A and B are shown apart, each in its own frame.
Chain A
């Protein structure tokens, strides 16, 4: 046990103590006015809470590495994961807030008055959240693996135990202030290393202004080595793949059940709009920094690690080689480690960078704590989404409507446990890097929920058979495309598995419209409810007339 291990562990434990402390403190004070106080949260803090909920291991651990490995093509993730907030905030969040349900399957079930639609939406929620949590568990495996200097797979197993315990805290998740704290830890842990690296490399403490020249210099280094330039567009994938991936991530963002739920914690449509704006500002701090991270660490690797004798590599390399995520082999046998002989997994770039740049044990520990906050907070939310979909939407409403409260809680607990263990088993041998696995979850959300919600909110003619057929077709098309592209090498226009959402969403929208138009329109009451979503919450639409309630705030 070295001092690095102790410092990292201490910071992780201390940050977890902080989250639990805040949760307990707030709960004790607010039992009676829990919902009112919850809804009194100012938009700016709700924005931070959305940021913590949203930024998972994929954003924190995976994103910078993905950009480093893919160069310009990795920026599809940056634009996709930020641009989706506009679709969400402009087209869905305020309207879903006015409709006032608690979960997305519940909205779909009531908007279309169909139990079948509710069940399909619940199953889609489970599939999406499950896929997403595989990425989170793989991410915690990377962090824990490095911490204990063990194989990342052993790290996953430890992560499963921690996450299963964490998720059973359950109610704690609902408390916004915990997530505000998680956001602050996470963003500090992300920004401090990148600011230090910027100072080291460019003598300018503002990475966003300084790394442009580093990007250009990387292009030159690549040209010298006879590689394609770092910033050259569409080297790793076609332009169509870039746009398909970007679309999948944007539409998926607008349809992700556990993100939409965060907009229910504010009281008005106005607050929903401002929350969305603040959320993207806070998320943007990390997303604007990820490409800088990528550029700086690639620069250090190329300048300082590549080209050095294989005998005298820095000490940090050995620890990462132990996790199985870094290989440095002198394949040419000349005793010098060439750039081409380094194989670095996307997923370790952020975690390894503070060590690569020699930033000291405190910063390394802080990054570990931030990464754990990102992985665990999102995984906790996802597992709760899975268990509530299963225990409430499927078990209670369909299988056993007479179930007691206790029985339902037991079902919820067991489904968290089983989902965690099964996701952990898949994560032992992750079917892709973290960002890719998470991209599948987004592709699935864009193929199922995005069309159902957009049409449900904006088109009153959309009916139950339409949305059922749409969700089923969207899910099948997206899943089939992911499997065919990933394992069968099948592609259209060079679009690979991560861009599958574009086909799923188009198929679902078409199916939804065609089936809706060829079946009976929804009842007048349902159509009125959709008309009602056009107006702010003070106005109510009823029988072709609009009423204003001056007392609603």
Chain B
């Protein structure tokens, strides 16, 4: 165990919170936002669907999945930047590290 600069740890926390806040704003927009303006969106069509229906049945879910992967990927980069990558992963049965 060694002590690290608390400012550095807090900067890490801050960049994590900023990322989560941005992703949750998008999350809110494609779910609650789309529902709020459903009647307006219904005037447009996308791929044969009325747009509000497309967003509810496909669009928002695809965005949700994308946001989860973006979060996992960017957080890994933040971990790297702050030198917090796991040094010694518990690997067994020929599994690769850092999978």
A residues with a Cβ closer than 8 A to B are: 33, 36-37, 39-40, 42-43, 67, 72, 75-76, 78-79, 82-83, 85-86, 89-91, 208-209, 211-216, 219, 231-234, 239, 242-243, 246-247, 250, 267-268, 270, 273-274, 276-277, 280-281, 284, 287-288, 291, 534-536, 538-541, 544-551, 553
User: Which residues of chain B come closer than 8 Å to A550, judged between CB atoms?
Assistant: 2, 87
A539 to B13, CA, bound (A): 11
- Closest residue of A by beta carbon distance from B7: A546
- Closest residue of A by beta carbon distance from B16: A534
Interface of B is mostly: helix
- Closest residue of A by beta carbon distance from B89: A553
- Smallest distance from the beta carbon of A173 to chain B beta carbons, Å? 22
A42 to B31, CA, bound (A): 30
Contact assessment for B20 and A90 in the assembled complex, using a CB-CB cutoff below 8 Å: yes
User: Which residues of chain A come closer than 8 Å to B45, judged between CB atoms?
Assistant: 216
A430 to B61, CA, bound (A): 30
- Closest residue of A by beta carbon distance from B41: A233
Contact assessment for B89 and A78 in the assembled complex, using a CB-CB cutoff below 8 Å: no
A208 to B46, CA, bound (A): 13
Contact assessment for B27 and A83 in the assembled complex, using a CB-CB cutoff below 8 Å: yes
Known: A78-B56, A79-B61. A548 touches B1 (CB 8 A): yes
User: Which residues of chain A come closer than 8 Å to B62, judged between CB atoms?
Assistant: 284, 288
Given A212-B47, A535-B9, 17 more A-B residue pairs with CB atoms under 8 Å apart are A42-B99, A67-B57, A76-B35, A78-B57, A86-B24, A86-B64, A216-B50, A239-B36, A243-B32, A246-B32, A246-B35, A270-B75, A273-B75, A276-B72, A291-B56, A551-B87, A553-B89
Contact assessment for B86 and A553 in the assembled complex, using a CB-CB cutoff below 8 Å: yes
Q: Which of B31, B69, B84 contacts A539 (CB under 8 A)?
A: B84
User: Which residues of chain A come closer than 8 Å to B71, judged between CB atoms?
Assistant: 89-90, 273, 277
Q: Which of B9, B48, B64, B72 contacts A212 (CB under 8 A)?
A: B48
Contact assessment for A544 and B35 in the assembled complex, using a CB-CB cutoff below 8 Å: no
- Smallest distance from the beta carbon of B19 to chain A beta carbons, Å? 9
- Smallest distance from the beta carbon of B5 to chain A beta carbons, Å? 8
Contact assessment for B31 and A79 in the assembled complex, using a CB-CB cutoff below 8 Å: yes
A selection of 9 A-B contacts at a CB cut-off of 8 Å is: A42-B95, A72-B56, A75-B56, A79-B60, A213-B48, A215-B53, A216-B50, A539-B84, A546-B6
- Smallest distance from the beta carbon of A37 to chain B beta carbons, Å? 6
Q: Does B81 contact A (CB under 8 A)?
A: no
Q: Which of B4, B48, B67 contacts A546 (CB under 8 A)?
A: B4
Contact assessment for B9 and A546 in the assembled complex, using a CB-CB cutoff below 8 Å: yes
Q: Which of B12, B23, B64, B95 contacts A535 (CB under 8 A)?
A: B12
Considering only residues 67-87 of chain B, those with a C-beta below 8 Å from chain A are: 67-69, 71-72, 75-76, 79, 84, 86-87
Interface of A is mostly: helix
User: Which residues of chain A come closer than 8 Å to B69, judged between CB atoms?
Assistant: 277, 281
- Closest residue of B by beta carbon distance from A212: B48
User: Which residues of chain A come closer than 8 Å to B54, judged between CB atoms?
Assistant: 212
- Smallest distance from the beta carbon of B14 to chain A beta carbons, Å? 10
User: Which residues of chain A come closer than 8 Å to B24, judged between CB atoms?
Assistant: 86, 90
* B48, B75, B92: most-surrounded residue (chain A CB, <10 A): B48
A209 to B53, CA, bound (A): 14
Contact assessment for B89 and A83 in the assembled complex, using a CB-CB cutoff below 8 Å: no
A37 to B92, CA, bound (A): 7
Q: Does B3 contact A (CB under 8 A)?
A: yes
User: Which residues of chain A come closer than 8 Å to B99, judged between CB atoms?
Assistant: 42-43
Contact assessment for A276 and B52 in the assembled complex, using a CB-CB cutoff below 8 Å: no
Q: Which of A40, A78, A216, A276 contacts B49 (CB under 8 A)?
A: A216
Known: A246-B35, A535-B9, A539-B4. A233 touches B61 (CB 8 A): no
Return the 6 tightest CB-CB contacts between A and B, nearest first: A212-B48, A75-B56, A277-B68, A291-B57, A213-B48, A546-B9
Known: A40-B91, A233-B38. A86 touches B67 (CB 8 A): yes
A280 to B69, CA, bound (A): 10
A363 to B96, CA, bound (A): 38
Known: A239-B35, A246-B32, A246-B35. A231 touches B50 (CB 8 A): yes
Contact assessment for A89 and B68 in the assembled complex, using a CB-CB cutoff below 8 Å: yes
- Closest residue of A by beta carbon distance from B34: A79
A33 to B91, CA, bound (A): 13
Contact assessment for B68 and A86 in the assembled complex, using a CB-CB cutoff below 8 Å: yes
Q: Which of A72, A274, A534 contacts B13 (CB under 8 A)?
A: A534
Contact assessment for B4 and A548 in the assembled complex, using a CB-CB cutoff below 8 Å: yes
Contact assessment for A75 and B57 in the assembled complex, using a CB-CB cutoff below 8 Å: yes
Contact assessment for A85 and B86 in the assembled complex, using a CB-CB cutoff below 8 Å: no
Contact assessment for A281 and B95 in the assembled complex, using a CB-CB cutoff below 8 Å: no
- Smallest distance from the beta carbon of B20 to chain A beta carbons, Å? 5
User: Which residues of chain A come closer than 8 Å to B52, judged between CB atoms?
Assistant: 72, 231, 233
Contact assessment for A242 and B35 in the assembled complex, using a CB-CB cutoff below 8 Å: yes
- Closest residue of A by beta carbon distance from B13: A534
Contact assessment for A288 and B49 in the assembled complex, using a CB-CB cutoff below 8 Å: no
- Smallest distance from the beta carbon of B67 to chain A beta carbons, Å? 6
A544 to B76, CA, bound (A): 26
Contact assessment for A75 and B27 in the assembled complex, using a CB-CB cutoff below 8 Å: no
Contact assessment for A284 and B92 in the assembled complex, using a CB-CB cutoff below 8 Å: no
Known: A212-B47, A246-B32. A75 touches B20 (CB 8 A): no
User: Which residues of chain A come closer than 8 Å to B8, judged between CB atoms?
Assistant: 546
- Smallest distance from the beta carbon of B39 to chain A beta carbons, Å? 6
User: Which residues of chain B come closer than 8 Å to A234, judged between CB atoms?
Assistant: 38
Contact assessment for B57 and A553 in the assembled complex, using a CB-CB cutoff below 8 Å: no
Contact assessment for B95 and A83 in the assembled complex, using a CB-CB cutoff below 8 Å: no
User: Which residues of chain A come closer than 8 Å to B18, judged between CB atoms?
Assistant: none
User: Which residues of chain A come closer than 8 Å to B48, judged between CB atoms?
Assistant: 211-216
